[in-house]
Amino acid sequence: GIQVEQSPPDLILQEGANSTLRCNFSDSVNNLQWFHQNPWGQLINLFYIPSGTKQNGRLSATTVATERYSLLYISSSQTTDSGVYFCAVGRAGRRALTFGSGTRLQVQP
């Protein structure tokens, strides 16, 4: 199956700082999503981005499919950004997603 590696595994930031999270995947995909799991365990979809760049407020994501990686940018981080960020990928013709191990982000006031 597809291997998904995320880095860094842990990240501690001061409020207001910027950060970049990385996701590498081992094979061609036609589905890539970023999720945020808040401290209460709820998983929320942030982006569907199999290729290209998208922005939503302070968050943006870029996927370079030919080089098999995706980046999630968080600017001007807030304490509410804390939690675990997951990258998940899927192959053509299958809705099933394979999740990476996540990046645990802690934003301190």
Partner 1 sequence: DAGVIQSPRHEVTEMGQEVTLRCKPISGHNSLFWYRQTMMRGLELLIYFNNNVPIDDSGMPEDRFSAKMPNASFSTLKIQPSEPRDSAVYFCASSLRPDTQYFGPGTRLTVL
- Based on CB atoms, which residue is closest to partner 1, 44 or 64? 44
Of the candidate residues 3, 20, 42, 55, the single one contacting partner 1 (CB under 8 A): 42
Compute how many other C-beta atoms are within 10 angstroms of the C-beta atom of residue 45: 10
Region of 28 (left: φ > 0; alpha: ψ -120 to 50; beta: rest) is: beta
- Report the site for partner 1 in 51-80 (rule: CB under 8 A): none
Q: How many CB atoms lie within 10 A of CB 48?
A: 12
Q: In the complex with partner 1, which residue's Cβ is closer, 57 or 95?
A: 95
Which residues sit at the interface with partner 1, rule CB under 8 A? 31, 33, 35, 41-45, 48, 86, 88, 90, 94-102
